A and B are shown apart, each in its own frame.
Chain A
Amino acid sequence: MRNWNFNLTRTTLLVGGTAALLLAAVPLQAQRGGGRAAPPNAKASAPIDLTGYWVSVITEDWRYRMVTPTKGDYQSVPMTQESRRIADMWDPAKDEASGNQCKSYGAPALWRVPGRVHITWKDDETLQAEVDTGTQTRLFHFGDWKPAGGEASWQGDSVATWEGRGAGRGGAGGGPGGPGGPPRSGSLKVVTTHLKSGYLRKNGVPYSEDANLTEYYDMAKEKNGDQWMVITVVVTDPKYLTQPFVVSSQFKKQADATGWDPTPCSSRW
């Protein structure tokens, strides 16, 4: 009897341990695309699905976003003295005359602009975010993408990575985990450089061509079915900011393109 117990112990521990290891290894195998050699692309490895139409919900900084802020109204922006000097010279007519109506629609300020966003996969390694107000387009490049160089732009050069425990396991973008697969979570991190100087607020609060932008895109689903995308934006600018400028903006998922209304940039509204 003692021998039987000993044998059972060894055998069952071996079986149990193997089962545990197999269970623990499931995510690792999923990460490897079910054993296939090629790593999944950005679309296939998306831990969250940001695609679709989103509408901004303006419950914060209302007077700086829904209407044009008054000249000299700079509250809560960590401006340098030089920044203030520049902002005090804000002249929308001058911006119009020089073809710079889009100065307040650059990447550092874009998510504060009330409007709708349409996010799609341009290709397997590029996420595209179109914004109707101001008719702007941002491209988030995954993988080993390298910028082409050339002139700085309102939306700059953006490099994207998935972050979090679910990153790389695939699913939301149509990969192995797929709809109905195991639960995933994670977020999108985007770092943007090579920006053309513009405004953090429409009333001329400036950011310079030296500004950099780091963004985190998170999602939450509520019990009532609402889906939210929350974008936390960190702007650094050695020229015009005394410290990183951090704001977060929220967007509600829409079922379709209702309300989508592309309009040109405006210096005054």
Chain B
Amino acid sequence: MNRTHIIRIIQSCILTAAAVPAFAQIDLSGSWQSINHEDALERGGGPYTVDYAGLPFTENGRARALSYSQSQLSMPERICAFYTQFHMLLGPFGLKIWNETEPLNGRTIAWKIGAWEDKDTTTIWMDGRPHPSKYAPHEKAGFTTGEWDGDTLTTYTTHMPAGYIRRNGSPSSDQATMTLHFFRHGDLLTMVGILEDPVNLSEPYIISRSYQSSTNMGPTAAAPCIVGDEGPKEGEVPHFAPGKNPNVDELTKLYGIPPEAALGGAETMYPDFRKKIKDKFVLPPKCTENCGGPRGGGGAAAGGPGAAPPPPPPPR
């Protein structure tokens, strides 16, 4: 054994001891069943057409959302359009998470979150690689890096394409970025996501949701999508012209929510907004649509682990 070997052994011992916190992490792998006890419509059949309450929209974001028609998804060009990675926070599905390791030392180089039928696989690079140039292509998977802060995995996603942050056409731009935090408490996993978009959002938009560890296999792949003809005329993009969206008063009619609240904006996220709408709110006598309950879509059948999402709202 020469001096070089000895010095390397010493360095190795010291680095191993010193590096323990840096590599410390908890195991996120496994199948996680979504617990859909909040935002039932969002995670089920989809939100009302003009429900932007709690969204920190800019004027641009609101205008684009109001012009959106769901029929756009029938266009051959868009029929196979996936959602962006932010859909993980809003869609109905659970998670399948696994790690990919470096063969020589077993170290995790990436965490993977399986695809859904309308979301691409997420790859969270843990090996310190940089994000690509801002001119690099924006793909449905985006580009995600992660690091551990104690027991919390924090990830950062860039290079997402333009897409939707609610399934009612609320838009996100290709400049949007997403931060996720994964908090594991035994069999419970809480995921917190923060979307920032300089084009459509005036403030970061935060969503949190929880999952239950499950022995049922979570989703791992997207089904192949085949472009078909669903009827829209070639060359036309279904939309609503400014001021012509027929659904702006839908939440008002059904739930008494003032239109200014339904149209969103940063102030609708904060408690003080309640003072502004208190005198305008009229409590309807009875719930008439998407009311849930043990026999409807909101009881156990629409709730937690193993449960199916609530039924979609009737066609409008």
Contact = CB atoms under 8 A, between A and B. Distances in A.
Interface of A: 5, 8-9, 12-13, 15-17, 19-21, 23-24, 27, 47, 55-63, 66-81, 83-84, 114-116, 133, 163-166, 183-187, 189, 216, 218, 220, 222-224, 226, 228, 230, 232, 234, 242-250, 259, 268-269
A20 B188 contact: no
B302 interface: yes
B188 A76 contact: no
Contacts of B13: 16-17, 19-20
Contact of A60 (B208, B251, B310): B208
Interface string B283-316: 1111100111110111110111100001000000
Interface of B: 1-3, 6-7, 9-11, 13-14, 16-18, 20-21, 24, 35-41, 53-55, 149-152, 154, 179, 181, 183, 185, 188, 190, 192, 194, 204-210, 212, 251, 255-257, 261, 268-274, 277-278, 281, 283-287, 290-294, 296-300, 302-305, 310
21 contacts: A5-B2, A59-B269, A60-B54, A62-B53, A66-B273, A67-B256, A72-B287, A73-B290, A74-B299, A76-B303, A77-B298, A77-B303, A165-B150, A183-B149, A184-B150, A220-B192, A222-B179, A230-B208, A232-B185, A242-B299, A242-B303
Contacts of B299: 74, 77-79, 84, 242
A222 B181 CA distance: 10
Contacts of B149: 183, 185
Contact of B287 (A60, A71, A115): A71
Nearest to A252: B206
Q: What 8 pairs between A and B have smallest CB-CB spacing? A: A185-B150, A75-B292, A16-B10, A76-B40, A75-B298, A114-B271, A73-B287, A78-B303
A55 B38 contact: no
A6 to B, nearest CB: 8
B271 A70 contact: no
A82 B288 CA distance: 21
B37 A165 contact: no
A232 B37 contact: no
B182 to A, nearest CB: 10
Contact of B39 (A8, A60, A78, A185): A60
Given A115-B271, A249-B208, A164 B293 contact: no
Given A74-B292, A242-B300, 8 more contacts: A12-B10, A55-B270, A56-B270, A59-B269, A67-B261, A187-B185, A228-B194, A269-B278
Contacts of A69: 255, 287
Contact of B152 (A55, A60, A220): A220
B23 to A, nearest CB: 12
B204 A226 contact: yes
Contact of A75 (B2, B17, B271, B302): B302
Given A58-B269, A116-B271, A78 B6 contact: no
B17 A20 contact: yes
Contacts of A226: 204
Contacts of B55: 59
Contacts of A59: 54-55, 205-207, 269
A69 B286 CA distance: 10
A44 to B, nearest CB: 18
Given A185-B149, A248-B210, A24 B188 contact: no
A151 B151 CA distance: 38
Given A57-B270, A73-B292, A245-B37, A15 B261 contact: no
B17 A56 contact: no
B39 to A, nearest CB: 5
A69 B251 CA distance: 12
Given A67-B277, A232-B185, A60 B207 contact: yes
Nearest to A22: B17
Nearest to A56: B271
